[in-house]
Every structure is written in structure tokens, then in C-alpha cells.
Amino acid sequence: MRADERSHGLWQASAPPAPACERLQGQVKADVAVIGAGFTGLSAALHLAQAGARVVVLEGAQIGFGGSGRNVGLVNAGLWVMPEVLIKTLGSHYGDRLLQLLGGAPGAVYDLIAQHQIECQAVRAGTLHCAVGQRGLRNIQERWRQWSDIGAPVELLDQNEIAAATGTTAYAGGLLDRRAGTLQPLAYVRGLAQAAMNAGARLHERSAVKRVEDGKTHWVLQTDEGEVLAPWVVVATNAYTSDVWPALPAELVRLPYFNLATQPLAPELRAQILPGGQGAWDTRSVLSSYRFDQAGRLVFGSVGALRKSGLSVHKAWAKRALTQLFPVLRDVQFDYEWYGWIGTTSDALPRFHQLERQVLSFSGYNGRGIAPGTIFGRELAHLILGRSAMEDLPLPVTPLKPASGKYLKEAAYEYGAQLTHLVGARC
Ligand SMILES: Cc1cc2nc3c(=O)[nH]c(=O)nc-3n(C[C@H](O)[C@H](O)[C@H](O)COP(=O)(O)OP(=O)(O)OC[C@H]3O[C@@H](n4cnc5c(N)ncnc54)[C@H](O)[C@@H]3O)c2cc1C
């Protein structure tokens, strides 16, 4: 990856190679131009190309350069917000549809992986949301109630059951969601790119869109060495948006999140932690997450940026916190470290925008982008293909609204996480 050494870590070291993609040179005409080669853009490209549309994907850096190649790899159902809050915010027309789509989204991701034989360490053993203290337990119990009320197959685990499922006695309870699972995110996004290319999409890396001009019957997307002419544009740049549409990045408050990966653990250690193969995270606001990769490395993460003073603070905290959770790991070394930026919104719900005539964008997944990005990309494709109407989409079109206090909030996330990790020995 053409980025700093802490951009993609373990995922870069263990993903199959990306398909070869040249820089865009000269003029290309297409039915749809997609900006950004992450889950959203590539899912849109794949579904459009499969239906016979001429699609060109322009990626400023490399496939999976953004959140898609850096994340934890938890393929979750639903969003951060609880089902009833979601329906209250969006109303039942969009709320019910969004819940139904995202409840089934992990299944759609694993089906896509099977259909295109994407090698991405896909494991569908569920995820564990772990309750810290009585407050965390109440949160988990409420989530369980709300999901159960709409028929979702989620299980409430008591203190003993969560201890058996995770291998630590740190939690008061947990929520097991068997719809969910884990994968190797960079491998998945590269696999999506290959599948889209196999279906006929053109992909160009190192081809940042610098300007978009209105050609009346089509849009002209200009890169340093070429241009794409297309009547439809999908903007799928999320938290890694450059300033082509300055109002897009202004809407998102970026939250940093890092991961460290241990050396491969010996089988006897491996057997004591997450024996069921789930991915886990906890209910703290400065949360921790962990999961295994295929080689038996434990990927351990939390809020924070591995840069400047954050680098040593977060690494020292991770060592302490991991040992506190799993004393058997006291001598384990970390082999990889990386971090990225999560695009958050004021109400923790994603956004669907019509930026211009036939220029559409989904963004702001609040750290839940693997399944939602894949599904929103597919839904955008269906809309452009004329298979659905605007009101069939899972979110209403809303105007762009700059986040209030964006830079203050971003600094608070970054330095607040450092403070929490500096003073707190807790995990
Ligand atoms: C550290 C971390 C942990 C996370 N953990 C999870 C998790 O466990 N589970 C989960 O579901 N989600 C998780 N997420 C969120 C998830 O990764 C994102 O929501 C998702 O990857 C967004 O996908 P996307 O395709 O919309 O955008 P991205 O993957 O960010 O892709 C945007 C792309 O657009 C490109 N781009 C930007 N501007 C231009 C331009 N002008 N021209 C061309 N290209 C451009 C960028 O280079 C980038 O490659 C995590 C995110 C991070 C950062």
C-alpha cells in the first residue's frame, strides 16, 4: 500500500494480491462512474456491471485504501443505534426497510463471497457484544429485547456464558448475534474488485478525481491524466473523501481506531480465547475489540490514532489491557499495528445524498461499513438500473449538513482516547 507503514498492517501482509489496475489515461465513456474503490463503490460497480452497464471505478490511491482495507473485520447486522431508535429517527417506511436490509446484510455478504469465491478468511460464527458492568448489561439487555421483538435470532448470555465464550471473566453478560461473523477486510475488498472486473467493470487506481464538470447530458470527471464521461456518478469516498465535494467531508466527524495483531498464538492459548470463533467488542464508549485471524493472531483494537504521542500511549495500553483480559497472554508480542478513520454522523445513522442530478452518495457508516457498504452499493446499482425508485432505498435523501464543532470533536476523540488509555489500566 502506498501509505504510511501503519495504514493496513496485518491485512496488507496477509491479503491475496490485488488485481492489476492501471492509472486512467485519456478519455473513457461509461454509463456510470464510481469514485472510490471500497466496499460501497465496488459493490455498486459489481452489481451494475453484472447487469450489463458500462462502469468505470476511479480510485485515488489503491483498492481498499480507505476504511475498507483497515477495519476490524466484524461483519455485523444492523447499526450502532438500537432498532427502536432507528425507527423513531427515520420513521417506519425507511426504518423498517433499513432494519430488514441490514439484519440480512451479513448473509448477503457471505453469499457474495461464496458466489465469487473470494478468499477472505470468511467465518460466520457470530459476534459477541460484551457488557462491561451493570450499565453495559442494561444496554445489552435492551438491545436483546429490541432485536428479539422484531424476530432477530440474538441470544442473551449471562456472566458465566460470556466468560465461556470469550475466555475472560471481565464481563457481566453479552449478546451473541449468530447472523454476524468476521473476515479479512482487505482480502474481501480486493475480491470484490476482482469480481467487478470479471463482470466487465473497469478499475483505475492512482486516479484521484480532481474536478467534476457538468456536460449537461453527462458528467466529466477529471483526473491528472484522463477523464471519464458518464451520465451517472456514484460517490463512495466516505471518511476518506478528498475535497471534490467539500460539503461531504464537512458532514463527517472522523474518529480514529487502531488495531494491533499478536504473533500467531500457540494452539493451547488459542483454545482458551474466543473458542467459538466469534469476533468481540465491549460496551465502553472508548471500546475495545478483538478477534482471531486465520493464522491464530489476535487482532486487538480500540479508539485512537497511532501517531505522535498516541503511538506509545495506545501500544502501552494495549499490552496492559490485553494482559488484564487474558493473563495467559502476558508475554505475547504484537507483530503488526495500524489505524484508520471512521466517518461518524450526529445521530450515528448513515447518509444518502443526491449531490447533483444523477450524482448519488452513501456515507457515514459510523464504524459499521462492511455489510452496510456492500448492501448500499447494491441498492444504488438497482436504482441506477431503474429496478427501484428513490423511495425504495433504505434511507431518505437528505441535504448535506456540516457537522457542528467538527474539528473540536475530532480532537476530543483523538486526545480523549489517549487520556483514557494513559490513565486507565482497565481494558
Ligand atoms: C479502523 C477501522 C475499524 C473499523 N471496523 C469495522 C468493523 O469491524 N466492521 C464494520 O462493518 N465496519 C468497520 N469499520 C468501518 C468500515 O471500514 C467503513 O465504513 C467502510 O470501509 C466504508 O467503505 P466505503 O467503501 O464507503 O469507503 P472507503 O473504504 O473508505 O473507501 C473510500 C475510497 O475513496 C477513495 N477516494 C477518496 N477521494 C477520492 C477521489 N477524489 N477520487 C478517487 N478516489 C477517492 C479513497 O482513497 C478510498 O479508497 C471500521 C473502520 C475503520 C477505519
Strand residues in 202-358 grouped as ranges (E): 202-204, 211-214, 219-222, 226-230, 232-235, 253-262, 279-282, 288-292, 298-303, 334-344, 351-356
The predicted-structure confidence for 258-288, as pLDDT tens digits, reads as follows 999 999 999 999 999 999 999 999 999 999 9
Report the atom number in ligand 1 closest to the C-alpha of 58: 43
**Mutational test site, ligand 1, from 342, 351, 375, 410, max ligand atoms within 8 Å of CB:** 342
Whether pTM exceeds 0.85: yes
Around ligand 1, the residues with Cβ closer than 6 Å are 35-41, 58-61, 65-68, 70-74, 76, 208-209, 236-242, 244, 257, 339-342, 365, 367-370, 373
Using an 8 Å Cβ cutoff, are 113 and 188 in contact? yes
**Mutational test site, ligand 1, from 21, 59, 336, max ligand atoms within 8 Å of CB:** 59
CA-proximal residue: ligand 1, atom 19 (nearest): 369
The predicted-structure confidence for 308-336, as pLDDT tens digits, reads as follows 999 999 999 999 999 999 999 999 999 99
d(CA 320, CA 39): 34
Is the pLDDT assigned to residue 147 strictly greater than 80? yes
Question: In this structure, what C-alpha cell is assigned to residue 426?
Answer: 482497565
The single-letter DSSP state of residue 17 is P
Question: In this structure, what C-alpha cell is assigned to residue 393?
Answer: 432505498
User: 159 C-alpha to center of ligand 1: Å?
Assistant: 35
User: 185 C-alpha to center of ligand 1: Å?
Assistant: 10
The confidence score (pLDDT) of residue 242 equals 86
Q: Which residue(s) pair with 131 in the sheet?
A: 173
User: 425 C-alpha to center of ligand 1: Å?
Assistant: 31
Using an 8 Å Cβ cutoff, are 281 and 288 in contact? yes
If pLDDT is split at 50, 70 and 90, which confidence band does 427 have? very low
H helices of 271-405, in order, are 309-325, 370-384
